[in-house]
Amino acid sequence: MNYAYLRQMPDNNNMSEQQRNILSFSLAQDLEIDKEVVEYSSKNHLIEDRKKFEEFMHSLEEGSSLIVDTLSVLSNRAEELIKIINCMLSHRIDLYIAQSKTRINKKTTIVEIFPLLNDLREAQKAKSNQIGRPKGSRSSSKFDSYQPQIISFLKEGMNVSAIARELSVSRSSLKDYIESRGIRELVEGSWMEINQPQKNAGVDNTILVCPFEQEQKERIS
């Protein structure tokens, strides 16, 4: 099973750009995307607090593949990435990184992984020394917690005015948000299925849109 993993954070490409990069890479590598998983969060939580992400990682079966745009989609903290990569390799899960055209699997040596982590550390250092918000980054928005609903409504064919009425928000502000996050492009080119999150699910506003193994969840519950 091949999973594409997208995550909307201020310093990452917006999800439509991530999606395009992953799709282009997958086509070049002859990889077929089976499922798309999207993580939304209004904050950059530590991995220990990203419970839904942890559940997803533990659900991956041996022989699965995870495709991301960049390593920072999984985490922008090098020490966390080491944990994630180690977990994946121990379960024989392949990791593909679209932008660097890299494959990390059980045969990959630490010598090959180390430069990727170094690049991430250097990027972190540059951002910490930068005055003001990094160019191209986006601040959090009150609409972030509505992203799954917005995507679902757009997929159903609702226009911005109707969505604004449904959410009781300003149409112009919602339109600006959809455009700045590339959400319409994401929906138009999307191959993902949307599972509507439960209202008030999680105080941290983290939502994992994840259509995988729903039957398994039901059996467990």
DSSP per-residue codes, 33-74: --EEEEEE-SS---GGG-HHHHHHHHHPPTT-EEEESSGGGT
Q: Is 180 a member of any domain?
A: yes
32 to each of 65, 94, 140, 158, 221, how far by Cα in Å?
10, 14, 33, 30, 31
Beta-carbon contacts of residue 108 (< 8 Å; ≥ 6 apart): 89
Q: 129 with 84, same domain?
A: yes
Q: 181 with 208, same domain?
A: no
Per-residue model confidence (pLDDT) at position 125? 64
79 to each of 85, 86, 178, how far by Cα in Å?
10, 11, 33
Q: d(Cα 105, Cα 89) in Å, to the nearest integer?
A: 6
Q: What is the pLDDT of residues 3-40, one digit of tens each?
A: 999 987 666 667 788 888 999 999 999 999 998 888 87
The helix/strand/coil state of 208 is strand
- The confidence band for 139, taking pLDDT boundaries of 50, 70 and 90, is low
Q: 9 with 90, same domain?
A: yes
Q: How many domains does the chain contain in total?
A: 2
Q: Is 105 a member of any domain?
A: yes
H or E element at residue 6: strand 2-8
Q: Is 197 a member of any domain?
A: no
Per-residue model confidence (pLDDT) at position 174? 92
Which residue(s) pair with 209 in the sheet? 38
Q: What is the pLDDT of residues 42-75, one digit of tens each?
A: 677 888 888 888 888 888 899 999 999 988 889 8
Q: Is 196 a member of any domain?
A: no
| pTM of the full structure | 0.62
Q: Is 87 a member of any domain?
A: yes
Q: 79 with 161, same domain?
A: no
- Does 114 or 47 have the greater pLDDT score? 47
Q: 153 with 67, same domain?
A: no
Alpha-carbon dihedral 189, 45, 12, 164, rounded to 10 degrees: 50
Q: 116 with 211, same domain?
A: yes
Per-residue model confidence (pLDDT) at position 31? 92
Per-residue model confidence (pLDDT) at position 132? 52
What range defines the domain where residue 158 resides?
Answer: 141-190
Q: 106 with 161, same domain?
A: no
- Does 208 or 25 have the greater pLDDT score? 25
Q: What is the pLDDT of residues 146-198, one digit of tens each?
A: 877 887 888 788 999 999 999 999 999 999 888 877 677 666 654 444 334 44
CATH code assigned at 74: 3.40.50.1390
Q: 128 with 177, same domain?
A: no
Q: 104 with 178, same domain?
A: no
